[in-house]
Amino acid sequence: METTNNKNLAAFTHLSTLTQYCIPFGNYIFPILIWSSNKSKSEFIDFNGKQVLNFQLSMFLYSLILAVIAIPILIITFFNNVPLHTLIDEEVFMRNHFSVENITGIAIVAIVAILLFVGLKVAEFFLIIYASVKASNGEKFEYPLTIPFLK
Q: Where along the chain do its domains lie?
A: 4-136
pLDDT digits (tens, 9 = 90+) for 101-148: 666 677 788 889 899 999 999 999 999 999 999 999 999 999 998 999
The one-character DSSP state at 104 is: -
The yes-or-no verdict on residue 82 having pLDDT over 90 is no
Amino acid at 136: S
pLDDT digits (tens, 9 = 90+) for 41-68: 999 999 999 999 999 999 999 999 999 9
**Number of residues in the chain:** 151
Among candidates 60, 47, 39, which has minimal Cα distance to 147?
A: 60
Contact 70, 114 (CB under 8 A): yes
The yes-or-no verdict on residue 86 having pLDDT over 90 is no
pLDDT digits (tens, 9 = 90+) for 65-80: 999 988 888 787 777 6
> What mean pLDDT comes out for the span 32-46?
93
The one-character DSSP state at 22 is: T
d(CA 89, CA 78): 16
Residue 25 φ/ψ, nearest 5 degrees: 60, 15
Dihedral sign for Cα atoms in the order 60, 53, 130, 11: negative
Cβ density class 18-30: b for 16+ within 10 Å, e for less: bbbeeeeeebbeb
